[in-house]
Chains A and B, each alone.
Chain A
Amino acid sequence: DARVTQTPRHKVTEMGQEVTMRCQPILGHNTVFWYRQTMMQGLELLAYFRNRAPLDDSGMPKDRFSAEMPDATLATLKIQPSEPRDSAVYFCASGSGDFNSPLHFGNGTRLTVT
């Protein structure tokens, strides 16, 4: 059963440290999305890629966040420097890019910044 794989599952770090989250989309999917979810907010879109090209990263704080797809099997989301307000669950999702196809989510990375 194909699935989106995210690592790490949990990350606890101190304020100011760099955090890197990784995502392996489902093989053959050409769209990748990064979302953030906190208790107070719904799913917040940070960035998305189509065919490895960033199409929209307007939801991402540019000064500290960056998202890349070095190849078709890996997407990364980096936070540098991290702040306590970045504590959240970060989800990666991938899709086939067809308008009638749903997104498939990874298990998420639960980030705590102290």
Chain B
Amino acid sequence: RKEVEQDPGPFNVPEGATVAFNCTYSNSASQSFFWYRQDCRKEPKLLMSVYSSGNEDGRFTAQLNRASQYISLLIRDSKLSDSATYLCVVNKNGNQFYFGTGTSLTVIP
């Protein structure tokens, strides 16, 4: 079983739409959680950390459900520039980072 599983998509949504991605993780000892964004032919870049109480950064909201072992990312009012691959990342003890395979998002004009 993979440490982190994501729906690869693709998600094709119109501008202005709200879209949500989920990610499940298998190890209950996982300690910290992140969402990264990767543009085509570029490196992954940190989008946001995910905190137990949930957190928001502008149009982006991340949530963690430890009981069910999943994290989510909600994007409101999608922009063309949000088109990218979104990677879910789970960390144990600062050394072991587990990456999902990514969810592809295309925002359509």
- Chain A positions within 8 Å of B, measured between CB atoms, are 31, 33, 41-43, 45, 48, 50, 55, 89, 91, 95-108, 110
What is the interface size of chain B, counting residues whose CB is below 8 A from a CB of the partner? Answer: 23
B57 within 8 A of A: no
In the complex, which residues of chain B have a beta carbon less than 8 angstroms from the beta carbon of A102? Answer: 34, 36, 46, 49, 89, 91
Query: What is the interface of chain B, defined by CB distance below 8 A to chain A?
Result: 31-32, 34, 36, 41-46, 49, 87, 89, 91-95, 97, 99-102
Bound Cα distance A84, B49 (Å): 37
Most chain A CB within a 10 A radius of its CB, from B45, B46, B91, B97 = B97
Other A-B pairs beyond A31-B94, A42-B102, 6, CB < 8 Å: A99-B91, A100-B91, A102-B46, A104-B46, A105-B44, A105-B45
* Contact present for A48 and B95 (CB under 8 Å): yes
Number of A-B contacts (CB under 8 A): 56
With a CB–CB cut-off of 8 A, which chain B residues contact A55? 95
Known: A42-B100, A43-B99, A98-B94. A105 touches B49 (CB 8 A): no
Q: List 27 A-B contacts (CB under 8 A).
A: A31-B94, A33-B97, A41-B101, A42-B102, A43-B99, A45-B97, A89-B41, A91-B43, A96-B94, A97-B95, A99-B32, A99-B91, A99-B92, A99-B94, A100-B91, A101-B32, A102-B34, A102-B46, A102-B89, A102-B91, A103-B46, A103-B89, A103-B97, A106-B43, A107-B42, A107-B43, A108-B42
